[in-house]
Structure 1
């Protein structure tokens, strides 16, 4: 049976398990949409903004280990995909973008909506298949799909409008694609070197990233053998929970003291599957063994003593027999006490007896964590909501967490939740968003309603870009409400207008009922959580420069207040109420 270019592409996508395609259509994609309409293997999920389509596709790639697919028509529509695709690239998720293009005869004439997409996507996509003739489709499309699938990266297929309906006469190159990723092992001699370094350590710590997802048991066993603490990155929070063996928690800007000191006070650090970006949290003068399957990650963040190129699970299976039992539990026990003290403080911060208003955001995060399903998916936006998730939400068992953790793009949380919920509407999905992030993506709440996606959204509504405000203050800058302040609608009422449901919460006694109402709802649901803009998100350790900057910020705010800037006094008042309750 003959196929046109678009029908042939759908066959390739079906072969790797694709079902949902997120996007906004346009004339260059009309033939592609017609092929989807008549093919029961696929579902087109039309969104209101292409950026949200790319984030949704990322979610499906991350959760399935396969690829996610998004689409946008010629210049403007294709360009709107860029931010979400950058997120997929930096999170190492396989996402394929399908973009339209103007007809060949119009190229180079500055035609309506014409953009040189190959140049625009060159820094994002590891491969771009520009289909200039139908004979190219099978071979180039399979390369693009294969690279996205196994290299876990972003790729693109470009469909000029005058090619989309052309018949693919030669399918010589069509073949089943490789779907399983290979394991990698370092040479035996290098494993011996690593074992020698580790065995000579007195205070060994394991620093684990998302590359440990398939190696959790091996990591826990090695930590037990060494009597070593396990520190993890934010992305690995849904791999290692505080209840797992020797886990002491996160380090970094939103980490805890135990995680920070485990890395800072060890004499041998074993980095496993992590590309942790904050090199200031890794000390000098220690021995570092790093395991990663990407050679470019080895030594990228710290001057390593030894790099092992390999997948974590297989490398630890070969390394573990070479490791001697640890001699002392003193280091681990000290960090364990520090961890337990921190967890107690976090529980106290989130106790529902703290009824100060506006409410403390931690109360909502813990209430959700305590009541969400054991396999819930948490889609986290960027900003202070990330801090509350890191500190008050537990991700044990089958829970997962997705977000823009490396790209750090505001507005990612909600559209990621759309992708996750579309994958399995029966699975509980939470979007944890700040008011700034949700405001960037809320146009697609109607998409969740349209496609019956019963996701739950909590909007931490403090009428402020809170994390940005804190960054400004640490830099020594005074409050600037015109830049960081927000004017918000009633998000719960907005949800209802869109056809979903929601509730606005201003009192502590209403938090648990709101969470339970959201869980019980079969509609997309928004909890509009009115929280304090004065809550401080303090790092596990504060440098003199940060303390000085914050102090200078307060001094400048005081001077501006004396000069009649009442917003400065309001900011002080909110911070005092949130952090020093009477």
Structure 2
């Protein structure tokens, strides 16, 4: 047994089923060893960056770590974006990278890259193998750190060491995985109960750290008659039908979610490092509970921080806090939220007589037709707006994306990773055309492995979210830079052996989504949506209104001077507004 084969045996004992990567050079011994067994499958991706996004999906969705691999320097560098996404989402991933032979390190050898320095900001630990004797020790250390800290770790395997005889076989053992809980001091919890009992209007901001304590959060909310505002990442925990949930805050939030956070006299932040400080109150009493102490007070001033598992803390508080009998505060916000949902349902109904195809109609139809345990990969951009505002992630549905890293192009590769892990679940990816162009080459990978992923491309021939950012800054959008030149994505799907569906009319939305859901092949729905959709934040201040007005004046002046692209945008925005108003 050589070092590469030993690494493979360790991965087997850890329950790894797939390695996503591109073969070559230093990895050849490992790839060869994979070919001699059938427990671990090598999934050959077209690009290493997509391999790391696929591994992220498996680390995020499963109870194990994802694994991706690449060869020496250039290939390893391609892994960075997906691995950075895994780091920011706190998804356990182990990346295996090759390295040039050790005798050439430091000589500026062909393809030599100082990978330790490059990956230093991404990885919690790097297992740089320099001898067969240390290999199993550092490999297992990397795995322990990845799974217990939900982190990214890297294993570096130089080409010469990869084929040396393995050593320290007697050291091999299954990696330790902690099930310990973090429990706060009773004294601190008593202080929290006292603050809560004194407050009149309590607001809850719940994040993804509440995934294993949903029942306790709901019980807490009902006890305090407190509305629950949630983060985007927690949309599949606190769905639209959950009692006392009033939606999102932030730039893509809704009014009731925003008010619940900003108008309370005590804010309780549960398992969230919500990054947008401008959407948090700064003069309101605040309690923050988190298992990561570095998060407490990170975004707004905190009167009381509690380092604890959410479930344990709430079990205590649910016993010690007094019932708040006045439901007026939460009832008003619940009413506003239901009104908002009803309005959204009206402007996203596939039964309406819309003259243009609105992206929210497509998103809503997917939400209505997808299975109860579907996994949704939401790409960065306007796709996140339509998904968070018009889709409901109820039942056993899961939602993943690049919500902290904000990287485009997570959709297709993460869908591949998810579908391989869950072959019997529907996997939907909602992506913009800009993001689709970045990763379309790996759609053929889904075809090769027979993965029935459903890729919905919202094709409006522009970088829509970037346009919104420019308008909010008071800039006139540069449509030469924002334009995305598209081809027939449905024909492309058919060309590479998948199933393509062209969608251009609201009347065909239901049929298209049903066809996609029933397909046994990978699907691309090429949805030619209107590019003039406007998305407004839940609270518009003077600065926002001023910047938006300036941007529109500049666009109008450019259009008046004969700029056809600015005129087309203005026309699309008017069409979108009138179309929705008339329905």
Q: Same fold (TM over 0.5)?
A: yes
* Matching of residue 224 in structure 1 with residue 222 in structure 2: yes
Structure 2 residue matching 1:248: 3-state secondary structure = strand
Which residue number in structure 2 is paired with residue 364 of structure 1?
362
User: Is the Cα contact below 8 Å between 2:375 and 2:427 reproduced in 1?
Assistant: yes
Which residue number in structure 1 is paired with residue 70 of structure 2?
72
TM-score (norm 2): 0.98
Structure 2 residue matching 1:235: 3-state secondary structure = helix
d(CA) in 1 for partners of 2:13, 2:542: 56
Which residue number in structure 2 is paired with residue 560 of structure 1?
558
1:410-461 CA-to-partner distances (Å, cap 9, x unmatched) read 1111111110001122210001101011111111000000111101010000
* Matching of residue 31 in structure 1 with residue 29 in structure 2: yes
Paired residue for 1:398, among 396, 399, 403? 396
User: Is the Cα contact below 8 Å between 1:377 and 1:430 reproduced in 2?
Assistant: yes
Paired residue for 2:267, among 266, 269, 275? 269
Which residue number in structure 2 is paired with residue 502 of structure 1?
500
d(CA) in 2 for partners of 1:434, 1:411: 9
Which residue number in structure 1 is paired with residue 125 of structure 2?
127
d(CA) in 2 for partners of 1:16, 1:325: 47
Structure 2 residue matching 1:133: 3-state secondary structure = coil
Give how far 1:508 is off.
Answer: 1.2
Which residue number in structure 2 is paired with residue 150 of structure 1?
148
Q: In the TM superposition, what are the counterparts of 1:82-481 in structure 2 within 5 Å?
A: 82-481=80-479
d(CA) in 1 for partners of 2:179, 2:532: 47
d(CA) in 2 for partners of 1:357, 1:443: 33
Which residue number in structure 2 is paired with residue 578 of structure 1?
576
Q: Which moved more, 1:448-457 or 1:11-20?
A: 11-20
User: Is the Cα contact below 8 Å between 2:350 and 2:510 reproduced in 1?
Assistant: no
Structure 1 residue matching 2:278: 3-state secondary structure = helix
RMSD (CA atoms): 1.0
Give how far 1:136 is off.
Answer: 0.9
d(CA) in 1 for partners of 2:72, 2:482: 34
d(CA) in 2 for partners of 1:425, 1:31: 29
User: Is the Cα contact below 8 Å between 2:356 and 2:506 reproduced in 1?
Assistant: no
d(CA) in 2 for partners of 1:25, 1:423: 21
Q: Which moved more, 1:176-185 or 1:377-386?
A: 176-185
1:527-561 CA-to-partner distances (Å, cap 9, x unmatched) read 10000100011111112111111110111112222
Give how far 1:318 is off.
Answer: 2.0
Which residue number in structure 2 is paired with residue 486 of structure 1?
484
User: Is the Cα contact below 8 Å between 1:16 and 1:179 reproduced in 2?
Assistant: no
d(CA) in 1 for partners of 2:118, 2:559: 47
Runs of 4+ in 1 over 6 A off after TM superposition: none
- Gaps of at least 5 residues in structure 2 are none
Give the length in aligned residue pairs. Answer: 580
d(CA) in 2 for partners of 1:154, 1:128: 9
Give how far 1:503 is off.
Answer: 0.8
Structure 2 residue matching 1:189: 3-state secondary structure = helix
d(CA) in 2 for partners of 1:53, 1:252: 31
User: Is the Cα contact below 8 Å between 1:22 and 1:46 reproduced in 2?
Assistant: yes
d(CA) in 2 for partners of 1:358, 1:490: 19
d(CA) in 1 for partners of 2:109, 2:177: 40
d(CA) in 2 for partners of 1:484, 1:283: 35
Which residue number in structure 1 is paired with residue 531 of structure 2?
533
User: Is the Cα contact below 8 Å between 1:357 and 1:531 reproduced in 2?
Assistant: no
Give how far 1:98 is off.
Answer: 0.2
d(CA) in 2 for partners of 1:358, 1:22: 40
d(CA) in 1 for partners of 2:525, 2:577: 24
d(CA) in 2 for partners of 1:38, 1:60: 24
User: Is the Cα contact below 8 Å between 1:357 and 1:532 reproduced in 2?
Assistant: no
1:216-236 CA-to-partner distances (Å, cap 9, x unmatched) read 011011111111111100000
Structure 1 residue matching 2:274: 3-state secondary structure = coil
Structure 1 residue matching 2:264: 3-state secondary structure = coil
Structure 1 residue matching 2:501: 3-state secondary structure = strand
Paired residue for 1:47, among 45, 48, 61? 45
